[in-house]
Amino acid sequence: MKLSRLALFIVPALTGYHTPLALAQSSNVTLEEVVVTATRRAESAQNVAVALTALSSQSLEDANVVDITDIGFLAPNVQLQPVSTFPGFATFTMRGIGTGANSIRTLDPAVNVMVDGMVVATQIAGQLDAFDYEAVEVLRGPQGIFFGRNSIAGAIQLRTGKPSEEFGGRVKVGVGSQSLVQLEGVIEGGMSSTLRGKLAVQYRSFDGYFEDNNGGTFVPTERNPSGADPGTATQKQTEQDSIFIKPTITWQPSDRFDLTVYGQYFEDDGGSGSTQAFVVPGAAPSTTFNLFGYTPPTDQFEVNHDLVGKSDTEIEQLVVEANWSVGNGVLTSVTGWRDLTFSSSSDIDGTPFLLIHFPDNEEEASQFSQEIRYAGEINDRLDFIIGGFYLDAEQSVIERRQFSGLTAGRDHFDYNHTQGAFTQDVKSTAVFGNVRWGFTDTLTLNAGIRFSREEKDLSVTLLTLCTGEGFNGCSNDKTTVSDDWSNTSPRVALEYRPSDELMFWGSWTRGFRSGNYNARAPSIAALGPADPEQADQLEIGMKADFADGRLRANITGFFTIYDEVQRITNDLDALGNPLQLLNNAAEAEIPGIEAEFTWIPTDRLRLMAGIGWIDPEYKKFTGVDMGAETVQENEALAKELEFERVPDFEYTVTGEYTVPIADRGDLIFRGQYAWREGFYTDTINRPLRAIDDYGILDASVRFENENWRVSLWGRNLTEENYADIISVGFNYQQFGGQARTYGVEVGYRF
């Protein structure tokens, strides 16, 4: 992707904004202001010298956002796809930095997810529902000062609104394709002069995008002489049956003190990952065709599995935030607790034969965190924040695999059973501080630093072959390893504000991602740990409002030096089973540009665009077998590899047109098109594991007034065929994707 392609979008917007100024009509309609806490202060997003996308509750509802993955289409250079082999596993990427297409539980996330001020310590069940949040902030780039564990790629903040003193609430009923039923209710108000509360409840039932109707074709072969369908169970896939309960209570006995308790309970009895076996045109026939005469269905959303899968999730969460006005500042305490259980069974080969299954995987995760910070003001030009952070997170996992004996040249029904288990305890501590000094009316200096220490203790039983029948005779040998790492991450930023509507900034920020163990290592020697990653990012940006608040242009350029890059490489063991190896394999440089525009040319029309360009380049890449004869040739070829799951170019354009209906309300037509350039889904860029360019078209029409909201919506209306990752095992499989869906919602606010 050439930089000139991005210029076709950005240059006209910068050089030609005088044209829309002339077209703008005089009125009181202006752009939305979203309050964010990106610097641990409540400020307008336009006043914060940080590259971020701020979404209000209204924006989330208008875009029909269901969960956190949908937000990835609304922010440039942000990919929030799940890995899909384990439903809901959050392999998120920002500005080219992520954890790749794997679901190794012991790896720290590259993108921190914060819920009501508490960092979520594990990636499992990280595909969180976006229900009842007053704002979502997508912060791009290393967040080296303020956010829980030091985040190397970026952070996502989901913030629940505090209860109102006035009694009120809302209800919503929605139905749609794939048997979708969604019910929501929120009620809030004052319970006394000092106490107010809110209760939000959501129920969602959805059959999922994929259906198993025993499709595909069969011809006679040696291992299936009759050429008959094995007649496995029919089923839905990726279905959801969830309940989400969010109680919130605020106690404010005086103007100088308030305490808010944010509770969450989430339960989902869902389906398994969406493994879709498929035929590659022109490629050699797959193992399943040669041995069983089976060709999978051609419809992307039709599958044929022999294992009825599942993914059952339960999350309990409590966050307590207290604020005291002390002296010339505010002392804040945020205490968080989260407990998670998750179980899953998945048909990974995606066929009606038992080739590769992940049956009855079980895991638990719990965490406790405490942050205390003080934000004070010395005078009108000088303020500061100091604080400390502590996290104790533990997870326990049992991973099971069942493989056909064909992997070792034996009879298909002579199955291999492998099992591994681990418990990992992570302790993270940090102290941080930031000073903001406005040394002139237009120039402000921000300088901050964070010292972090991470300690990890891992007790692991390697994923090895069980000697008994089924999952009997599995190893119980445990190996315990531990290590710790320290890091100092600074940030320096200079802001220039020639006017209230225009700001420029430049910054240097360091990000850190802790050392990691590989709980799927094939041997004790390969457990690791890999050393920590480090990213140093230079950033220049502009935030501007023109035309009396009708045109907004936010543009950021960045350059990242990315060292000690942790990469997963895949191999096979002696039995032919897949291995995942973790190494500090690379160094890289990542330049990029992001631009977000909003324009209101008339009172009835609103246009928005988000554009991202990125060009990651490896400067060194070792330990990857590229098929060359020498190490030097392998490394030279590896340096030319592209980053996995990172599109070089992407954009999202949105338009809304409002038609007033007398004095009854407004009829609003909305369309959104999100386009992503193709990318590879594996480290070594196999062509058959590439995702082609794709674009998603969503649209809706809604009627709304002060009390009522009725919406007819459709998603992926052109039913674009795309996936999140592609893998190989007996045949080709792809995971993820979204079918065309549509529905209607009716909401009432009182």
> What is the average pLDDT across 318-345?
96
Residue 573: per-residue pLDDT: 56
Bridge-based pairing state of the strands 111-115 and 154-159:
parallel
- pLDDT higher for 207 or 300? 207
Q: How many CB atoms lie within 10 A of CB 214?
A: 18
The Cα–Cα gap between 160 and 136 comes to 9
pLDDT tens track for 484-503: 999 999 999 999 999 999 99
Instruction: Say whether pLDDT at 166 is over 80.
Output: yes
Q: Which residues contact 421 (CB under 8 A, 6 or more apart)?
A: 396, 397, 398, 399, 460, 461
Q: 16 pLDDT band (50/70/90 cuts)?
A: very low
- Domains of the chain (ranges plus CATH)? 3-749 (2.40.170.20)
- pLDDT of residue 653 exceeding 80, the answer is yes
Q: Is the pLDDT of residue 17 over 50?
A: no
Q: Among 232-246, 311-325, 432-446, which is the least confidently predicted range?
A: 232-246
**Which of these ranges, 307-321, 328-342, 626-640, has the smallest mean pLDDT?**
626-640
Q: Mean pLDDT across the stretch 396-422?
A: 84
446-479, pLDDT tens digit by residue? 999 999 999 999 999 999 999 988 899 999 999 9
* Residues 671-686: tens digit of each pLDDT: 999 999 999 998 889 8
In this prediction, residue 85 carries a pLDDT of: 74
Pairing of strands 310-326, 257-270: antiparallel
Task: Name the nearest CA neighbour of 595 among 16, 155, 4, 14.
Answer: 14
> What pTM was estimated for this model as a whole?
0.91
Residue 575's pLDDT is what? Answer: 54
Half-sphere exposure in the Cβ direction for 381 (13 Å, CA): 9
pLDDT band at 19 (very low <50, low <70, confident <90, very high): very low
Residue 574's pLDDT band (cuts 50, 70, 90): low
Q: Are strands 210-212 and 302-303 parallel, antiparallel or unpaired?
A: parallel
Cα distance from N-terminal residue to C-terminal residue, the chain: 50
Give the mean pLDDT of 61-86.
89
Q: Which residue has the higher pLDDT, 244 or 9?
A: 244
Chain position carrying tokens 């246009």: 607
Residue 409 confidence (pLDDT): 64
Does the pLDDT value for residue 64 go beyond 60?
A: yes
Check residue 238 and give its pLDDT.
82
Which of 204-213, 220-229, 541-550, 643-652 bottoms out in mean pLDDT, i.e. has the lowest?
220-229
Structural element, H or E, at residue 294: strand 294-295
pLDDT tens digit string along 122-152? 888 777 888 999 999 999 999 878 876 778 9
Helix (H) or strand (E) holding 635: helix 631-638
Instruction: Report the distance separating Cα 582 and Cα 205, nearest Å.
Output: 38
Q: Which residue has the tokens 């590439």?
A: 690
Q: How far apart are CA 25 and CA 48, in angstroms?
A: 29
Average pLDDT over residues 348-352: 89
pLDDT number for residue 572? 56
Across the beta sheet with 210-212, the strand order is 235-237, 210-212, 302-303
* Cβ density class 8-45: b for 16+ within 10 Å, e for less: ebbeebeeebeebeeebeeeebebeebbbbbbbbeeeb
CB atoms within 10 A of CB 290: 14
Taking the C-alpha atoms of residue 126 and residue 121, their distance in angstroms, rounded to an integer, is 10
CB atoms within 10 A of CB 500: 9
